[in-house]
Amino acid sequence: MAGLFDKQADLYLDARPNYPSEWFSKLADLTDHHGLAWDAATGNGQAALAVAEHYERVIATDVSESQLKLATPHPRISYRHTPSSMTDDELVELIGGENSVDLITVAQGVHWFDLPRFYAVATRLLRKPGGIIAVWGYNDVIVSPEFDAVQYRFHATTLPFWKYPYIQHIFDSYEALPFPFESVGMGSEGKPLKLEMPKTTSFEGIIRMFKSWSAIVTAREKGVELLPESLVRELETAWGGSDLVRSVVYKAFMIAGKVRV
């Protein structure tokens, strides 16, 4: 899905929730070594920065050059553009070679991938034994009964503008996501680990999150405005006013595993 988030890269950087640090500590505890990690579909590097707290080197890749331009520099992270034209062998060589990677992470992105191809590359790259792959995503944000009623009605209007069948995995909380790796106790194929991500945000922040959805951009390109001012005002009233800062909770889900031997 090359370029899907190019047009709202700045919104994506600002609006998305932060992944809890304890997730990365638990994943790091599962790997035998901490030399090299690969964060695929890194976007602006949000997950890569957390991974770099536990690994000596992180290769963070994305098909979107505009996202990578907004990535936060870090001495242990190498950001690399990986166009869809890159071959599997080229990608394996770029990351570090076969049997070299201790941890592979994909945050809110694996559902867009050519899964058989990605999993084949991951299997080649992961250390055997000792390497771990973890994929996760999130969907619902829980605010309040009043706000949630309006936002769910708004979300229903976006459904025709998402990229199917890819986004269905997010709607299904990865419960139908193929994942051909052996469970390591943090979710498994068909049974993702259910998680929560608390975030303190303003009304402006939640609106920017909505605007970062690819469906909003796709609809606008087709002449449909899914977030008109009238709806923004209705959401603002349900939020409790534009000046109110709220604690919200994002519903997340993760699957982690190792290569079957």
* Residue 35 to residues 30, 48, 70, 220, 227, Cα–Cα distance (Å): 13, 14, 25, 44, 45
Q: State pLDDT tens for residues 66-92.
A: 999 999 999 999 999 999 999 999 999
Q: State pLDDT tens for residues 92-119.
A: 999 999 999 999 999 999 999 999 999 9
pLDDT more than 70, % of the chain: 94
Q: Which residue type, as a one-letter code, is found at position 118?
A: F
- Which range, of 8-12, 26-30, 106-110, 248-252, averages the lowest pLDDT? 8-12
Contact (CB, 8 A) for 106 and 48: no
The residue among 1 and 17 whose pLDDT is bigger is 17
* 85 is a domain residue: yes
Q: State pLDDT tens for residues 205-222.
A: 999 999 989 999 999 999
Q: What is the CATH number of the domain that holds 43?
A: 3.40.50.150
Query: What average pLDDT does this structure show over 56-75?
Result: 96
Domain, as residue range, for 15: 1-139+164-198+249-258
Contact (CB, 8 A) for 39 and 48: yes
* 52 is a domain residue: yes
* 149 is a domain residue: no
Contact (CB, 8 A) for 117 and 86: no
Cα four-point dihedral sign 178, 194, 212, 18: negative
How many independent structural domains does the chain possess? Answer: 1
Q: Which residues contact 206 (CB under 8 A, 6 or more apart)?
A: 15, 141, 143, 235, 239, 248
Q: What is the DSSP letter of 204?
A: H
Contact (CB, 8 A) for 112 and 64: no
**How would residue 17 be classed by pLDDT, with cut points 50, 70 and 90?**
confident
Q: What is the pTM of this model?
A: 0.91
**How would residue 15 be classed by pLDDT, with cut points 50, 70 and 90?**
low
* 88 is a domain residue: yes
* 109 is a domain residue: yes
* 72 is a domain residue: yes
* 233 is a domain residue: no
* 110 is a domain residue: yes
Average pLDDT, the chain: 93
The pLDDT assigned to 109 comes to: 95
The residue among 14 and 66 whose pLDDT is bigger is 66
